[in-house]
Amino acid sequence: MTRAGCLGLAVVLLAAAGCSSVKRTSSLSLERRARGALTEELDVAQGISWQLDPASQTQDQEGVEVSVTFAPSAYLAQLFRNRQIFGPYAGKNPFFPENIVFYVKVANRSQQRIRIDPNLFVLVDDRGNQYSPLTADYIDALEEARQPVVTTTRGLLSEARPGYFGLSLPVGKLVSAKPQGRFALIKQSALLGGYLYPGVVYDGLVSFWSPNRKITNLRLLVSGVKTDFDPDDVAHKALEFPFAFQVVSPTP
């Protein structure tokens, strides 16, 4: 390729990377936040400081003990600063203000293994909406979608160095490196699914989109806790633990 051709390609790539004013809305931002009425959608996933009562509660069924604690921003801020838990990744709360978070602990005090699947948990409000848990990958992708395009532009320009034709293009580096702090913290703290054998106590966080601020109570359903497995690994029983919370006073 001629020198003029290389310079032309460089200009095109730089121009494409720098078009921050024409940013396409991510599909994540277009998805519905809850299963409910369309008229509720604009009031879901807003930054709200919730206060729930009781803050913590515990239930026991057939030797399976489940504890749920509402995790407000102050609780999360203190948790994620703990270097004994998160080591070098310890830092600020990785969740968005539009999230509502719960700390869930499952203790298998039965004589058989159980299986949990946090993806089956459901949060239900008194306005007829239900919310599914947000995965670590979803929140990480949402963070990336919210990053301004100018970040990519700067990453591209910082890697462009003088070369034989006047400009050396950053092959394979058109997108700047993204810090892994938020993703690592959410991944390490998340309640993940799988088998829990007798005597195991397992805990982690489960997050949802924040409900409509006009609600007066919430129910967190810890559903799909499978037990009573046969030799073919088929579960013959599924437990559900309903936790009811009264909304004390949501504030902007």
- What is the full DSSP assignment across 151-195? HHHHHHHHH-B--TTS-B--TT-SS-----HHHHHHHHHB---EE
Q: In the chain, what are the domains?
A: 50-135+179-247 (2.60.40.1240)
Number of residues assigned to the chain:
252
pLDDT tens digits for 168-178? 444 444 444 44
> For residue 61, what pLDDT is reported?
96
**198 to 58, 65, 106, 113, 201: CA distances (angstroms):** 19, 12, 11, 6, 9
Please tell me the least confidently modeled range out of 11-25, 36-50, 133-147. Answer: 11-25
CA end-to-end span of the chain, whole Å? 58
Share of the chain above pLDDT 90, in %: 49
Residue matched to tokens 């073919």: 232
What percent of the chain stands above pLDDT 70? Answer: 67
- Taking 70 as the threshold, does the pLDDT of residue 115 lie above it? yes
pLDDT surpasses 60 at 160: no
User: What are 31-55's pLDDT values in tens digits?
Assistant: 767 666 676 777 777 888 999 999 9
pLDDT at 229: 92
